[in-house]
Amino acid sequence: MLNFSFENQTRIHFGEGQIAAITNEIPLDAKVLVTYGGGSIKNNGVYDQVVAALKDHTWFEFSGIEPNPKYDTLMKAQTIIKEHGVDYLLAVGGGSVVDGTKFIAAAALFEGDDPWDIVTKQLNINKALPIGAVLTLPATGSETNTGAVVTRNGHKLPFRSPVVRPSFAVLDPAVTLSLSDRQISNGVVDAFIHTMEQYLTYSVNGKVQDRFAEGLLQTLIEDGPKALQAEHKNDLEIRANIMWSATMALNGLIGAGVPQDWSTHMIGHELTGTYNIDHARTLSIVLPAVMKVGKESKHDKLVQYAQRVWNITEGSDAEKIDQAIEKTEAFFINMGMPIRLSDIDLGASDIDVLISQLEIHGMVALGEHQSTTLEISRQILNTAL
Ligand code: NZQ
Ligand code: ZN
């Protein structure tokens, strides 16, 4: 196992009715800015629950944070923050709202000229406004982690800092019942691929991390498709298992002490930045190709994945790997996801632009061995055609 330091101090309130917990989480003398997206929270009762919990607080609101949140939108919140002396942010929404709020929190206390430098220069920021999160879409893990992804002029880029990790997060599976099938699928597959990017590398004998990861993958394989079936549409136990899996997939636990490979995400970000494809729908296209191109470098972990996650016991190692890749693709298809560039009407002629975006963004040595050069990324995209 590799050396690691692990910390995750986000307090989690899990279960039905837990939105009420924000009353005691946010100091009564705080000036709170409630941030949210396009309005789903007004149709499913979440907004009303937040308003009830904040009835004795002083609060303001900022809406319109779009999926794949944009710098220009997020900077508009700074005016309200300055005008009212806001000193606490409450993000109510999916990963985009939580990520966007992290950027707002960091930008509010940024002392340089342009807060975009936080992202492009990967600055070590040491202060941000405190954040609480009410999660409405289990997917990204953003509600308890230190990362965020922000887009400016088609450049979709991540940043991370411990100071933007939410102080608390409310995870109420009941609020996910209003999700469309498309967003349920996106969430399940995003969480699945977060797990894979911290698992499918090379073995360092991290038994706990591996078995935690395999448990998350199997839970998502078992309950993900059920969440789409009419007879299970209102099953809160299924929603609870998906929600907790998504948080656990990217709260730092399974990635501590093991190598990681975020190449699927970094290539996927270029597909979103350039063609505005939903985040998870880029990943379901790229991951199978990463597995195919990585058959040698990821050989042992691919065999372990085949045996332990899919219970494939027959055949040679190479056959097990092929079957595991086929089963992964079938799972994505079952979840209604695209698995090829052609499924989203992209083709060979689009690959040059994606490669040049990767180059512009410095994504030239990806993967657990930093050996995914632009040439390998091209091979991955060609394999995904
Ligand atoms: O904006 P509203 O009206 O709320 O609608 C949203 C949005 O249209 C809707 N939605 C959310 N909760 C709902 C709901 N609709 C009905 N009922 C509910 N309960 O869903 C749509 C998509 O929301 P979004 O927040 O964009 O989805 P997601 O949670 O998948 O977040 C994706 C973003 O997170 C980033 C992605 O890159 C992308 O920008 N990621 C962040 C990570 C992190 N911070 O660690 C890691 C991830 O890999 C990911 O990159
Ligand atoms: Zn993701």
Q: Could you read off the pLDDT of 340-378 as tens digits, one per residue?
A: 999 999 999 999 999 999 999 999 999 999 999 999 999
Backbone angles phi, psi at 59, to 5 degrees: -145, 160
The verdict on the CB of residue 37 being under 6 Å from ligand 1 is yes
Residue 331 and residue 46: Cα distance in Å, rounded? 31
Q: Where are the beta strands (DSSP E) in the chain?
A: 11-14, 31-36, 58-62, 88-93, 131-135, 147-152, 155-160, 168-171
Using DSSP's 3-state secondary structure scheme, residue 338 falls into coil
Q: Is this prediction's ipTM beyond 0.95?
A: yes
Determine the pLDDT at residue 94. 98
Using DSSP's 3-state secondary structure scheme, residue 14 falls into strand
Q: Which domains does the chain have, with CATH numbers?
A: 11-174 (3.40.50.1970), 181-383 (1.20.1090.10)
The verdict on the CB of residue 215 being under 6 Å from ligand 1 is no
Best CA proximity match to 348, nearest among 381, 374, 376, 372: 381
Nearest CA to ligand 1 atom 26: 67
For ligand 2, a single-atom ion, the residues with CB < 5 A are 190
The verdict on the CB of residue 139 being under 6 Å from ligand 1 is yes
User: Which pLDDT tens digit goes with each residue over 368-385?
Assistant: 999 999 999 999 999 999
pLDDT band at 210 (very low <50, low <70, confident <90, very high): very high
Summarize the confidence of residues 137-157 as an average pLDDT. Answer: 96
**How high is the mean pLDDT of the chain?**
97
Determine the pLDDT at residue 122. 86
Determine the pLDDT at residue 155. 92
Report the DSSP beta bridge partners of residue 61.
34
Best CA proximity match to 155, nearest among 53, 273, 69: 273
Best CA proximity match to 135, nearest among 88, 181, 87, 183: 183
Residue 286: C-alpha distances to residues 144, 228, 265, 382 (Å): 26, 23, 8, 10
Contact 142, 98 (CB under 8 A): yes
Structure tokens at 237: 């136990």
Q: Which atom of ligand 1 is nearest to the CA of 142?
A: 44
